[in-house]
Every structure is written in C-alpha cells, then in structure tokens.
Amino acid sequence: MNNDGRPPIDDIRMRGFGKLTPVSEAIETIDRQRGDIGTETIGLSSAANRVLAGEIIAPVNVPNFRRSAMDGFAVMASESTTIHQIVGEAKPGRPYRGSLQPGQAVRIMTGSPVPVGVDAVVPVENCRSTSESVELLEPIRKGKHIALPGEDVRTGQKVLEKHRILRPQDIGLLSSLGISEVTVIRKPHVKILTTGEELLPPGTPPTEWHITDSNSVMLRALIERDGGTVLEAKQLPDNPEMIRAEMGSTGWDLLLVNGGTSVGIDDHAPRVLQSLTRDIIHGIDMKPGMPTGFGMLEDQRMVFLLPGNPVACLFGYDLLARRALRRMAMRSLSLPYAPLPVILRDPISSKAGRVDYVRLRINFDTNEATPLPLSGAANLSSTVMAEGFVIVEEDSTGHEAGCQVIARLYE
C-alpha cells in the first residue's frame, strides 16, 4: 500500500490491459454511486424539459367559476318558452352583472362567466336571433355547455408527480393554477477535458499532422441531451500535472477526460485518476471503447475516462458516462434512442463476454439492416452514414443473417 492507504499504482502504459472489466460490472458500479445533487427554484419560462423535485398539488380550482363552454345564449333550462328577450351579453373577463328573469337570455361567448340564475347555454348554431330576441331551436337540458368550478382541476388534486420531466403542456397547466415558479432538480455541472498535443480547436481546418477536436462539441450536445450543463470545455497538453490540477478543481459534478486514456506512453489520465481515488475501473470489455474507465474521488464526484477515437468516445459516453449523468439528473436510464425491430441482411460476429456497438444502415421500407464493420473507431462518419445501431450484449456471440434484432435509431 502507498502511504495514503491507496493501492500501488499499476502502470499499464505500453503493456496493455491485463484484465478487462465486464460492462455489466461497470454498470453495477455506476449505479451504486451518487444520485440526486440538489434542487433549484426557477420561473416557468425556464422550466421546459426540467425535472420536478417534488409533486405538485393544485392550490385552486380550474376553472374557478362557472363558465360557458360555447358561443351562444345563456338561459334558464326550467322554462318551456322558446323565444327569449336578449337583455345583455357576457364576454371573457366581462360578465353580465344582472340576474336573469323568466323569458330572458344573455348573449354569451366561450369562456365567459355564466350569469346568476342561468343553468344552460344553447349554442349559437341551435338558435335563431335578432338584436332583441332569440328563438331556441332545440330542447334545453340543465347544465348543458357549462363548465363547473374544478371541472378541469380540483383544489387539492395531485397534478404532477415527483421527477416528472416537464413538457410544454405541463407548464401551461402550472400557469393556469397560478404557479409562477417550480422547484426542479439542479442540472449537473459537467467539465470536459480534451487532451492531446495533436489537437486543434473545434472547427479549425486540420493542418499537417494535426487533427481537429470533434469530441468535445459532440460531448457537449450529448450532455445537454441528458440533462446536464457544460461548465467548461478545455484542451490540455499531455501533461500529468495539468491533468491532476483539473481533476482536483472545484465547481463540477462530473468530469469527462477525453483522450489520453489508453496504454500509450503519453496516456497519463488513468494513472493520475488512480492516484486520486481508491477505486478505479479502467479497461472495459467493449468494442469500440476498451480504454474507457472511471473512478470516484474522495468527495464522491465521478471522473470518466473516454477514448480519443470518436466512435469509441460516443459509445463509452452513451453506455456508461450517460448513465451516471442521468442518475444525477434524475432522468430515465434507458438509452435515449427510439427502438425499431429490424432484420439483419448480414451476420454479426462477437466475442462472448464483450459488448459490441454495431452501426447499421437501415432500409425503412423493408426494415432490413446492414451492419457496418466493427473496426474503424476513429471514423465518426460511420455514425453519420448509419441510421442506427445495435448493441450485442456480453452473453451473445453475435447474430445470424435473417434474424430480428432491436435497432436504436440516431435521431
């Protein structure tokens, strides 16, 4: 053991992984880690797609007064007469202030308060009217076309469950209840570190032996999809002390280190992370993405090591880091890609114990899918040309041509 009680650091650089962790074990480890990271109160205008921290109970009735459900004429249903004198009108926000007497009617618009004494509204299409009187062309039924207080929502009714992701109609309902602010799960703050001497800033034309960073912008979009917010995205050289300083910095809830995570001589991030935590998983039985890893610092914050190859980075994030982020954000842990049953045109081979990420070209007319090669983790274009992917689980050795699998669609 080291002086601080941690196990000695195993330097796997230029030697390869002696043992790979099964994906299922890695997922179980992630699911034992930190969850809820706190709440914040925000206005309704910012609440779309946020996660409610607690249930919502209606403080008032909706509607909170009797109102007309139709444009027409408000009358007394107990009357037998069909011709009524029009004594006034009611509009939304401008009620008729008097009380109806027998033989009288009030012209009324949808959403208007129903006058005292009125117990039915006859739609305008079932009437024949002049400026002074109206003839009713159908029998009157008590309560017809009148919305009662609480007909939509009742006081004390539970309207939204805890941890619901707020949709536009949810926000509209909250506003109708007079609620202007909601308490939601705070968005996890994610920091992205991209390492490598060969990298140029995102969007910069590649030159000579340099390549352009594509992973940080891809990760930013994935993080925002999964309910997080990017605190900072920073490029670093292959310098272990600079990597250590960033891992030890404050303000972030989840740290993604992209690149420098494999077994090359300049892949420092795994050794730095191992020196800061008692528990690190590095080297996972998945293809692509074997150099993926993660660990938890003493303050319970998680650091993920994602490969620099773009497809491996995407798969490592979606399979593992996404899960940790969505747990903190209190969102569903299911893959956020629509499922589609497809028939394989060609076989897929895999190794027992390994999880494979196979991109698919899909013919949506026939729901047939053609697997793209498993190799080429550096070729991000394979995920652009593909309509979706299939994950071959660790208990499978692949799928034969002609069998049905569940594809996940890139959307």
Q: What is the pLDDT of residues 314-353, one digit of tens each?
A: 999 999 999 999 999 999 999 999 999 999 999 999 999 9
Pairwise CA distance, residues 242 & 253, whole Å: 19
Identify the CA nearest to 54 among candidates 236, 185, 154: 185
Q: Is 104 in the same domain as 228?
A: no
Residue 249, φ and ψ in degrees, nearest 5: -75, 170
Q: Is 285 in the same domain as 320?
A: yes
Asked whether residue 122 is assigned to any structural domain, the reply reads: yes
Asked whether residue 5 is assigned to any structural domain, the reply reads: no
**pLDDT tens column, 223-278:** 999 999 999 999 999 999 999 999 999 999 999 999 988 877 888 999 999 999 87
Q: Is 216 in the same domain as 351?
A: no
Q: Is 110 in the same domain as 94?
A: yes
Q: Is 93 in the same domain as 179?
A: no
The most confident of 213-217, 298-302, 306-310, 337-341, by mean pLDDT: 337-341
Return the pLDDT at 1.
45
Number of CB atoms found within 10 A of residue 311's CB: 23
Among 328, 363, 397, give the residue marking a domain's end: 328
Asked whether residue 379 is assigned to any structural domain, the reply reads: yes
Q: Which domain holds residue 181?
A: 39-61+153-185
| Residue appearing with tokens 């394989």 | 344
pTM here is: 0.86
**Token duo for residue 310:** 């773009």
Q: Is 194 in the same domain as 246?
A: yes
- Given a cut of 90, whether residue 145 has pLDDT beyond it is yes
Among 280, 295, 328, give the residue marking a domain's end: 328
Asked whether residue 114 is assigned to any structural domain, the reply reads: yes
Number of domains, the chain:
4
What is the CATH classification number for the domain harbouring 81? Answer: 2.170.190.11
Q: Is 352 in the same domain as 391?
A: yes
Q: Is 82 in the same domain as 176?
A: no
